[in-house]
Amino acid sequence: MNIALTAHNSKKELMNQFCIAYCGILSRHSLCATGTTGKQVAETTGLHIQRFLSGSQGGDQQIAARIAYNEIDLLLFFRDPLNPKPSEPDAMNLLRLCDMHNIPFATNIATAEVLIHGLERGDLDWREIVRA
């Protein structure tokens, strides 16, 4: 599976901790991330991560393009709901594209844990058929 990771600055440490906790599962999949998130997670966990630009420099759009081409199977985007970001339209675009292409999308750790456990059980294997 192709998994994309991104996180607002105030949620990057939470993303790092999540990836440490689920490193064994994540290591069996192809990971990509926006620049800073990818750099931090790779340094923290040793996971191989294809890094795009940072979110504010177009990394969110690069992930959006991969979603539009059906090259992403799962998106984990830990967002800060209390502090609106100038890039909020990019986040809404990611949500819209995930809805259009039936991509599981977690915006918080609770949903991410449900999805990662489902991924481990094979609940998301249907994505392989969709991508074929």
Tally of CB atoms within 10 A around 117:
12
What are the tens digits of pLDDT across the range 8-57? Answer: 999 999 999 999 999 999 999 999 999 999 999 999 999 999 999 988 89
Element housing 61 (H / E): helix 59-68
67: domain CATH number is 3.40.50.1380
- Look at the chain and report how many structural domains it folds into: 1
Residue 71 has pLDDT above 80, yes or no: yes
In a domain, 107, yes or no: yes
In a domain, 12, yes or no: yes
In a domain, 60, yes or no: yes
In a domain, 80, yes or no: no
In a domain, 56, yes or no: yes
Quick check: is 90 catalytic?
no
CA-nearest of 126, 104, 125 to 113 is: 104
What are the tens digits of pLDDT across the range 112-131? Answer: 999 999 999 999 998 888 77
Q: What is the pTM of this model?
A: 0.94
- Domain of residue 59 covers 2-74+88-131
Please report which confidence band the pLDDT of residue 86 belongs to, taking 50, 70 and 90 as the band edges: low
Q: Which of 60, 73, 80, 125 is catalytic?
A: 60
Please report which confidence band the pLDDT of residue 87 belongs to, taking 50, 70 and 90 as the band edges: low
Tokens 């990836």 belong to which residue? 19
